[in-house]
Amino acid sequence: MRIISYNVNGIRAAIKKGFFDWLKTNPADVICLQETKATQGDVDVKQLEALGYYHHWFSAQKKGYSGVAIFSKVKPDKVELGCGIKNSDNEGRVIQADFGDIRLINAYFPSGTSGDERQLFKYSWLNEFETYLTKLKKKIPKLILVGDYNIAHHPIDIHDPKGNKKSSGFLPEEREWMTTFLSTGWVDTFREFNTKPHHYSWWSQRFPSVRLNNKGWRIDYITVTEPLKKQLKAAEILPTIIHSDHCPVYVEIDF
């Protein structure tokens, strides 16, 4: 199964930039979106259905904010909206789908860039979500967690580690969370296949030259639990796909 994770930074804006035309190229069997900033009713879903996609949406209570969705050419056995954490579910941050004995979790991790209050919310969310995943892993050992994690883990994952050492998304506490998380039986799929620098999935929109010069951050991930590690076939980042300030990240898993 081919899986893509993609923060579209507003699906309606992405559609205007050719998102549906890209879907026509059949880029993956399952496409997980973050930051849709829309409800299902805001989008012409007939175009999705004509391309053979089942679609499931989980939107924030606040209009035009956050939100996640799963488009799949394989019908999920079960879809679960949210994760039971109130503050997270109010913001439409997690949607889950079962395919046989595998659970796919699509998550939009909070950003702390807007100030101290949201940074504290981010830390709280990370800890609560990790607790949730730990319990879930005991019931369902084969998990795939995709999404915008809003964390650049190592210096190799950011173009200017020294200049951003005090920036949200690269703070020591966030990076330590990521290290601890991966040490509990999760695999960073991209790094299983590529250990080279200068591979990023997000570029600031403040200056157009940033993406052109590849001054980015790798903050979008697909991680899997250890039981799926041997089933990994490929993992990539797709920077030439441009409908957003992020680009898609890709994994292929032998189901």
* Alpha-carbon span 35 to 169, nearest angstrom: 17
Please name the residues in contact with 88: beta carbons below 8 A apart, sequence gap of 6 or more: 82, 94, 125, 128, 129
d(CA 253, CA 68): 22
The residue whose two tokens read 């620098």 is 197
Is there a contact between 99 and 255 (Cβ–Cβ < 8 Å)?
Answer: yes
Respond yes or no: is residue 245 known to be catalytic: no
22, 8 contact by CB (below 8 A): no
User: What are the residues whose beta carbons fall under 8 Å from the beta carbon of 191, sequence distance 6 or more?
Assistant: none
- Residue 60's CB is within 10 A of a number of other CB atoms, namely 21
Hey, is 51 helix, strand or coil? coil
* Burial 18-53, CB ≥16 within 10 A → b, else e: ebbebbeeeebbbbbbbbbbbbeebbeeeebeeeeb
**Residue 189: its H or E element:** helix 189-193
Which is the catalytic residue, given 148, 157, 220, 245?
A: 148
Q: Are strands 78-81 and 186-188 parallel, antiparallel or unpaired?
A: unpaired
The set of catalytic residues is 148
